[in-house]
Amino acid sequence: MSTYFSHLECSVPCGAPAAAPHTRQHLCPCGAPLLARYDLVAAKKGWSRTSLASREPSMWRYRELMPLLAGETPVTLGEGWTPLIRARRLGSALGLSNLFIKDESLNPTNSFKARGLSAAVTRALHLGARILSIPTAGNAGNAMAAYAAQAGLEAKVFMPRDVKTPFVRECELYGAEVTLVDGLITDAGRVAAETGTPLGWYDVSTLKEPYRIEGKKTMGYEVAEQFAWELPDWIIYPTGGGTGMIGMWKAFAEMSALGWIDPVKRPKMVTVQASGCAPIVRAFEQGTEKATPWEDAHTVADGLRVPRAIGDFLVLRAVRESDGAAVAVDDADMVVGMRQMGHLEGVSAAPEGGAALHALRVLIQTGRIQPHERVVLFNTGGALKYLDVLEDH
């Protein structure tokens, strides 16, 4: 089975020549993230969305538009095709008649990071990498460790020293070597690069390789397919590095080129961050194209504790082009959101999911979101690795 994966292109784009898909490429020579591109004209002719009905219930059901070359098979643990839950009780508490939760906590290793790392580890394996390294706030490290184990590759994980214990234990469970670093994920990234670059380790940092986005874009394909190819009015999404936002926005452009969705109508994209670390919200409000790094970042939502994101301009583009919004949420409100999702819907939410719920409440109260509009709230991870947060609040 071959795919339409054709080349890698600068995300700016800066004009650098396209890179071939079978070469090891991390960033564009200009320093910006690279994006995987496909022959969408050929795909439109040769592939129909009706073929999906009989496919496996994982994100690899979209393999024609995934980074696979002829003869390659994915490294998979069954990630993706997560439920889109009709949230009736939560909806009525908020005054919404069309609220849905995309529950990403049901992925392998308990978060949507599984999607990105399934794609990235697949590519790394086929490119001949043997040792993978990653700086992470927690969930990405767990996912990388699991997929590396599945593929028989070595995993080196670099995390902030104050990371919650379950994240460390889970990495070890999958046989990864964990290094705890003083500081934040950006410091972990520096130490990972200093250690791994001279040794030739394959770095799977967010957006510093082109394929995690390709895994995360499948959330956009799934939302479309689960709604019978009619996208919702709003997508509420907790944003750290921004891979999910960028990936979904890319998915909508691809599906539009394939003729699978309405060429014009797109969801309004809402980026949700923590009040203690909100560089993208601040840049959105100030009208700048890129974000400046956040000082003294702190929040219980580890996945949102990202003071500087290399793809910030791509997230800001998606939010602005979609006429969306950017909302910062306090930690205490995130925990209220976690409990409310649990009490009213039986969904186990990470603080990041709780943050998305609070942001939704704010947008309803300010009149931005109307009662009849169709809203998809992303619960990006489960509560179990964050029990200390529930005990402390």
CA proximity to 219, closest of 323, 11, 351, 79: 79
Helices in the chain by DSSP H: which ranges?
Answer: 40-46, 88-94, 113-126, 139-151, 165-173, 185-196, 212-226, 243-258, 279-286, 312-321, 331-345, 351-365, 387-392
The residue within the footprint of ligand PLP, chosen from 319, 354, 380, 385 (CB under 6 A), is: 380
Site string for ligand PLP, 350-369 (x = CB under 6 A): x-x-----------------
Q: Which is nearer to ligand PLP, 87 or 349 (CB)?
A: 349
| Pairwise CA distance, residues 272 & 329, whole Å | 7
- On whether the CB atoms of residues 138 and 385 are closer than 8 A, the answer is yes
| Pairwise CA distance, residues 202 & 200, whole Å | 6
Considering only the stretches 10-18, 71-79, 232-240, 253-261, report the one whose residues sit in contact with ligand PLP under the rule CB under 6 A.
Answer: 232-240
Q: Which is nearer to ligand PLP, 117 or 375 (CB)?
A: 117
- On whether the CB atoms of residues 209 and 26 are closer than 8 A, the answer is yes
| Pairwise CA distance, residues 31 & 113, whole Å | 23
Size of the site for ligand PLP (CB under 6 A): 16
State in angstroms the smallest separation of the CB of 45 from ligand PLP: 32
Task: Kindly report the number of other CB atoms within 10 A of residue 97's CB atom.
Answer: 13
Strand order in the sheet with 84-86: 84-86, 98-103, 374-379, 234-238, 268-274, 325-329
Please give the residues from 136 up to 175 whose contact with ligand PLP meets the rule CB under 6 A.
139
- On whether the CB atoms of residues 280 and 327 are closer than 8 A, the answer is no
State in angstroms the smallest separation of the CB of 368 from ligand PLP: 21
- On whether the CB atoms of residues 188 and 136 are closer than 8 A, the answer is yes
Q: Which is nearer to ligand PLP, 47 or 386 (CB)?
A: 386
Please give the residues from 236 up to 265 whose contact with ligand PLP meets the rule CB under 6 A.
238-244
State in angstroms the smallest separation of the CB of 380 from ligand PLP: 3
Q: Which is nearer to ligand PLP, 126 or 385 (CB)?
A: 385
Tell me if 113 contacts ligand PLP by CB under 6 A.
yes
Residue type, 201: W
State in angstroms the smallest separation of the CB of 18 from ligand PLP: 25
Q: Which is nearer to ligand PLP, 21 or 80 (CB)?
A: 80
Q: Which is nearer to ligand PLP, 21 or 215 (CB)?
A: 215
State in angstroms the smallest separation of the CB of 74 from ligand PLP: 20
Q: Which is nearer to ligand PLP, 196 or 242 (CB)?
A: 242
- Residues near 265 by beta carbon (within 8 Å), at least 6 away in sequence: 231
| Pairwise CA distance, residues 286 & 146, whole Å | 40
State in angstroms the smallest separation of the CB of 382 from ligand PLP: 8
Considering only the stretches 41-49, 233-241, 258-266, 284-292, report the one whose residues sit in contact with ligand PLP under the rule CB under 6 A.
Answer: 233-241
| Pairwise CA distance, residues 391 & 236, whole Å | 26
State in angstroms the smallest separation of the CB of 299 from ligand PLP: 11
Which positions touch ligand PLP (CB under 6 A)?
A: 111, 113, 139, 206, 238-244, 303, 350, 352, 380-381
